[in-house]
Amino acid sequence: MRLTLHRLIAFLLGCGIAAAATDEASLASRVVLLANRDDPDSLRVARHYAEVRGVPAGNVITLPLSREETIPWREFVDTLWEPLRTVLVAQRWIEATGSESRDAVGRRKFAPYGHRIAALVVCRGVPLRIAADPQLVTEVPPLTIRAEFRTNEGSVDGELSLLATANRPITAYVPNPLFQNDRPTALQRGEVVKVSRLDGPTVADALALVDLAIMAERAGLRGRAYIDLAQRDRNGDAMLEAAGKLLEAAGFETVVDREPATMAATARGEAPVWYFGWYTPDIDGPFAVPGFRFPPGAIALHIHSFSAATLRDPMHGWTGPLVARGVTATVGNVYEPYLLLTHRPDRLVRALLRGDNLVDAAYYALPALSWQAVLIGDPLYRPWAVPKP
């Protein structure tokens, strides 16, 4: 009887592993990679990811793009948005009908009615930011009643999230229908293309993002959680505090710094597999100590208005420097996002702990599209694929 039971358990476990592998293969077949045809490093990142995750080679789209991080709106539309959407529609990634007429920004008018993209992976070398163009600012009531939303500057990735929707105004932001939505409808899922970026100060940093994710999935997350409150704003501290409570309940030793200043360089910082903090412009504390490295699989973010203004500098901002120090997943903002429109750390943790992959969790945690956010990391990374020992 005992042998039979052991065999039954082994069979059921085997079925679960096989089902998970099948699911991952299905997701990988629906990942689309975007690389800069004029940047050999961009092509290298795309090919590496496709090889490691089993993404079909035909899913790699290459376009001749600027190698600058910031581009103007007209260039974004002419060289990136229009060519990319044309390919996605032609290859039936996006189902849509279109016309030759164009809107005021120069985008062809499309009527999309769904897509089959699990994730759009933007590779290092693709522009990061779209500069503001005051001539293209329009009224988008009620948002533009507030002066801070009378802008069209934003992240390339945030704009690409709307590839499968009818052209939206580029001023202000678009509410994310997936935010805090535990049961999105097929229509809501079809409105959003989930975008993740493999990028960092060096091409080696970008390549490592998928390798670290695979390593962590195989071994499980091992380390501590560090929460750095700022006593600056009750909303921000509350989000971070809630994230810490979730991680502590999940079994992670959680250290909470309640001082207004960021963590000191001498603060305890061993094996920070989770880090959430705010609010200083450039990486500091124990993370800036020479030789510091995050453990494989680490998820970290630091809330700051311009945390991802550039991803090329290992010391400026937070997003790029975190990647340079071995973080596996992070988020940031390319321009001023305003606190309540940034990724919610507590929602990100909640989704990851229930088994969501990185890109699904990030969009569950993000209130606004066509705005300032970027997600850095392997979209298929599931840190909870192996439970914490």
Tokens 């990028």, residue? 199
| CA–CA distance, 372 with 343 (Å, rounded to integer) | 10
Domain count, the chain: 1
Residues in CB range of 202: below 8 A, 6 or more apart: 324
The beta strands (E) that lie in the chain are given as 31-36, 60-63, 70-71, 94-102, 108-115, 119-123, 129-130, 154-155, 174-175, 195-198, 224-228, 254-257, 272-277, 299-302, 330-333, 368-369, 373-376
| CA–CA distance, 9 with 108 (Å, rounded to integer) | 56
pTM above the 0.85 mark? Answer: yes
| CA–CA distance, 325 with 319 (Å, rounded to integer) | 10
- Residue span of the structural domain in which 163 resides: 1-389
End-to-end CA distance of the chain: 29
| CA–CA distance, 122 with 104 (Å, rounded to integer) | 26
pLDDT tens, per residue, the chain with 389 residues: 333 333 433 333 344 433 344 467 789 999 999 999 999 999 999 999 999 999 999 999 999 999 999 999 999 999 999 999 999 999 999 999 888 899 999 999 989 999 999 999 999 999 999 999 999 999 999 999 999 999 999 999 999 999 999 999 999 999 999 999 999 999 999 999 999 999 999 999 999 999 999 999 999 999 999 999 998 888 999 999 999 999 999 999 999 999 999 998 988 888 999 999 999 999 999 999 999 999 999 999 999 999 999 999 999 999 999 999 999 999 999 999 999 999 999 999 999 999 999 999 999 999 999 999 999 999 999 998 665 54
Q: Is there a cis peptide before residue 279, judged by omega within 30 degrees of 0? A: yes
Output the six-digit token pair for 350. 């909640």
Q: Exposed e or buried b for every residue in 185-212, given b needs 16+ CB within 10 A?
A: eeeebbbbbbbbbbbbbebebbbbbbeb
Question: What angle do helix axes 203-219 and 40-53 make, rounded to 10 degrees?
Answer: 10
Pairing of strands 108-115, 94-102: antiparallel
Give the rounded distance of the alpha carbon of 364 from its chain centre: 11
What is the C-alpha radius of gyration for the chain, rounded to an integer number of angstroms? 21
> What are residue 108's phi and psi, to 5 degrees?
-65, 145
